[in-house]
Structure 1
Amino acid sequence: MRPFRFGAVVRQADSAKAWAGKARRLEDAGFDVMLVPDHLTGERLAPIPALAAAAAATTRLRLGTMVLANDFRHPAALAKELATLDVLSDGRAEPGIGTGWMAGDYAAAGLPLDPPGVRLERLAEALAVLKGLWGAGPFTHHGAHYRVEGLDLYPKPAQRPHPPLLLAGGGPRLLRLAAREAASVNLTTRVLPDGSGPDPADGGLDAFLAKIALVEETAPGPIELGTSILELGEVKAARWSRADISGLAATPQVLHGTRHDICGKLRHWRAEHGLTYFVLHHERALDAFAPIVEELA
């Protein structure tokens, strides 16, 4: 049985000192991963330089993204950035990547929001480019969306063959891709095709269990399963405030009750369904969640 792992999403700070303090707070509290989101709008730091700063302030904490929007960067550039982060953090990079989805980001930057199927095809191709460039020697790729000609990337990542990748999503096509290509899958609510927010039709215990089954059926080998905590007590994750949290009460995405109750629920989901990686999405809930991390980690 896999051990529990816990991550926390951190979005912003107004100084280097404050940001380093947040990273050290997570490390001291026993969290495994610090995660930074990737959006062009809103009060959020850019993920890769923010994680580099967190690396300099910590020694154990792993450095992740929840999640990078593939459409914002060419995978050759992203491969170099992430390999550099991995080297300079002594092998602690743990990048999460997705298609990109938030319509407001695309509109603000003047980027076209392609249909989900196109974005998913582009993500699949980007993953092939990332892994190819992180391998030994020059890499060439001629695809529908990207072209790379004999590029021998420097640096290569410290973790071999490459940093563990996380994919997050709720739609069946993305979950199948994640099962084939990622080391870890974060099970989420499916996003509406127009990028306006979570799909209200995708919720409840049955839908959540079906996602677990789909990943397990598709994955060629062992894979880490996890999800995001959208409500802890009275604290809701702001990103998903439009989601119908009440429909998720039976899933591990909503945690109510005493410390004993919550630890019992998470132990149940690990024992019965193999979920071991839980991500807290709201800093306001850190103090309340820290004792749970201490007991289970």
Structure 2
Amino acid sequence: MTRREFRFGAVVRLADSARAWAEKARMLEDSGFDILFVPDHFVGPRFAPMPALTAAACATTRLRLGTMVLSNDYRHPVALAKEAATVDLLSDGRLELGIGTGWMRMEYDKAGLTFDPPAVRVARLAEALTVLKGLWRGGPFSYSGEHYRIDELAMEPLPKQRPHPRILLGGGGPAMLRLAAREADAINLAVQVRADGTAPSEADAGVAAFVRKIDLVREAAGERWTTLDVGTSVQQIGAASRLGEWSAANVGPQAETPQVLLGSVEERVDKLRYWRDEHGLNYFVLHNDRDLDDFLPVVKALAGT
């Protein structure tokens, strides 16, 4: 079993001012976190990802900056390639581009976007990844697929990281996980959302389903497995009373997985060590920064080990 070094991130959605946002970013940098993530939704109180990451980059020097995760359907990959390359260059190579198919049907409907079946969205994401990587290589790039057409497009500037910024793919369905195993540098395991985009699938919940995802990724990745950062989002930490809250991870049935960390600090630390040492997971992202006080002792105990 490959024993990877722990990595930690936190999703941060909003701040009251530029100063407060910068202070949040510096606090994560000074507390052992590897990366600040910004989510990508039209609804709810949250910043737009790329401007927020640029501001965080200006306030820090080492902290990596990521998206958890962009909806591929909200941006054409040519526009995203340009924005991501700019952020990566201006941050001196600290961008980690997290991207997924998009899943929240209600949000699509409110924005007037077509919500296609899962297989179509996964296929479109696969094409988008080809376009992103092709443009980031430099020189004229052409592509002709079912969803995108690119004709001899040369993009400048190129990202600082070569051959491209780290790519994180998040998802829970078999097709998405196989795509991630082939194309990603990091993978965030999630409970699969129902095909209608309304809620997590109860059929995909529980520790057995979670372990099957790890096994699927390991098999699909082959030799790439040892180079991947694989983990999940910590949806619940601390108070057991909140286990009934709805989230994209459907945390109640996930209590035995690393998506839920209860008990003492020592018990939380031991649980993450178990999932790293027995299953190869090393990359854990706090889903909500309201829980930072509960998560910080875990990061302090495990960061860099």
**Which interval holds the TM-score relative to the shorter structure?**
over 0.9
Residues 222-231 or 69-78, more deviating = 222-231
Check conservation: 1:199, 1:243, Cα contact below 8 A: no
Task: Say which SS state the counterpart of residue 152 (structure 2) adopts.
Answer: strand
Alignment of 1:203-214 (within 5 A): 203-214=205-216
| Letter matched to residue 209 of structure 2 | A
1:14 offset after TM fit, Å?
Answer: 2.2
Separation (CA, whole Å) in 1 of partners of 2:184 and 2:203: 26
Residues 216-225 or 162-171, more deviating = 216-225
Identical aligned residues as a percent: 61
Check conservation: 1:237, 1:282, Cα contact below 8 A: no
Alignment of 1:4-83 (within 5 A): 4-83=6-85
Check conservation: 2:191, 2:250, Cα contact below 8 A: no
Separation (CA, whole Å) in 2 of partners of 1:198 and 1:134: 34
Q: 1:227 aligns with which of 224, 227, 232?
A: 232
Check conservation: 2:235, 2:249, Cα contact below 8 A: no
Aligned-CA RMSD value: 1.5
Q: 2:251 aligns with which of 240, 245, 248?
A: 245
Check conservation: 2:245, 2:251, Cα contact below 8 A: no
Task: Say which SS state the counterpart of residue 295 (structure 1) adopts.
Answer: helix
Q: For residue 119 of structure 1, what is the aligned residue in structure 2?
A: 121
Separation (CA, whole Å) in 2 of partners of 1:243 and 1:127: 25
Separation (CA, whole Å) in 2 of partners of 1:242 and 1:158: 33
1:281 offset after TM fit, Å?
Answer: 0.8
| Residues 174-195 of structure 1 deviation map (CA, whole Å, 9 limit, x = unaligned) | 0000000001110000011111
Task: Say which SS state the counterpart of residue 147 (structure 2) adopts.
Answer: coil
1:37 offset after TM fit, Å?
Answer: 0.5
1:257 offset after TM fit, Å?
Answer: 0.9
Q: For residue 199 of structure 1, what is the aligned residue in structure 2?
A: 201
Q: For residue 294 of structure 1, what is the aligned residue in structure 2?
A: 300
Task: Say which SS state the counterpart of residue 165 (structure 1) adopts.
Answer: strand
Check conservation: 1:98, 1:167, Cα contact below 8 A: yes
Check conservation: 2:190, 2:249, Cα contact below 8 A: no
1:20 offset after TM fit, Å?
Answer: 0.8
| Letter matched to residue 296 of structure 1 | L
1:291 offset after TM fit, Å?
Answer: 1.2
Q: For residue 269 of structure 2, what is the aligned residue in structure 1?
A: 263
Q: For residue 94 of structure 1, what is the aligned residue in structure 2?
A: 96
Task: Say which SS state the counterpart of residue 177 (structure 1) adopts.
Answer: helix
Alignment of 1:148-187 (within 5 A): 148-187=150-189
Task: Say which SS state the counterpart of residue 166 (structure 2) adopts.
Answer: coil
Check conservation: 1:186, 1:228, Cα contact below 8 A: yes
| Letter matched to residue 48 of structure 2 | A
Over 3 Å counting, the alpha-carbon distance change for 1:70 and 1:134 in structure 2 is: same
Separation (CA, whole Å) in 2 of partners of 1:89 and 1:120: 30
Task: Say which SS state the counterpart of residue 161 (structure 1) adopts.
Answer: coil
| Residues 168-221 of structure 1 deviation map (CA, whole Å, 9 limit, x = unaligned) | 111000000000000111000001111112112211111011000000000141
Separation (CA, whole Å) in 1 of partners of 2:189 and 2:285: 11
Residues 169-178 or 247-256, more deviating = 247-256
1:243 offset after TM fit, Å?
Answer: 5.3
Check conservation: 1:200, 1:243, Cα contact below 8 A: no
Separation (CA, whole Å) in 2 of partners of 1:102 and 1:243: 13
Over 3 Å counting, the alpha-carbon distance change for 1:140 and 1:239 in structure 2 is: farther
| Residues 252-281 of structure 1 deviation map (CA, whole Å, 9 limit, x = unaligned) | 111111111111111111111000000101
| Letter matched to residue 239 of structure 2 | E
Over 3 Å counting, the alpha-carbon distance change for 1:169 and 1:156 in structure 2 is: same
Task: Say which SS state the counterpart of residue 8 (structure 1) adopts.
Answer: strand
Equivalent pairs counted in the alignment come to 297
TM-score (ref. length: structure 2): 0.94
Task: Say which SS state the counterpart of residue 95 (structure 1) adopts.
Answer: strand
Task: Say which SS state the counterpart of residue 265 (structure 1) adopts.
Answer: helix
Task: Say which SS state the counterpart of residue 101 (structure 1) adopts.
Answer: coil
Over 3 Å counting, the alpha-carbon distance change for 1:150 and 1:239 in structure 2 is: farther
TM-score (ref. length: structure 1): 0.97
Task: Say which SS state the counterpart of residue 167 (structure 1) adopts.
Answer: strand
Separation (CA, whole Å) in 2 of partners of 1:191 and 1:238: 17
Q: 2:282 aligns with which of 276, 279, 283?
A: 276
| Letter matched to residue 96 of structure 2 | E
Check conservation: 1:36, 1:51, Cα contact below 8 A: yes
1:283 offset after TM fit, Å?
Answer: 1.4
Please, which runs of 5 or more residues in structure 2 have no aligned partner?
Answer: none
Residues 139-148 or 231-240, more deviating = 231-240
Please, which runs of 5 or more residues in structure 1 have no aligned partner?
Answer: none
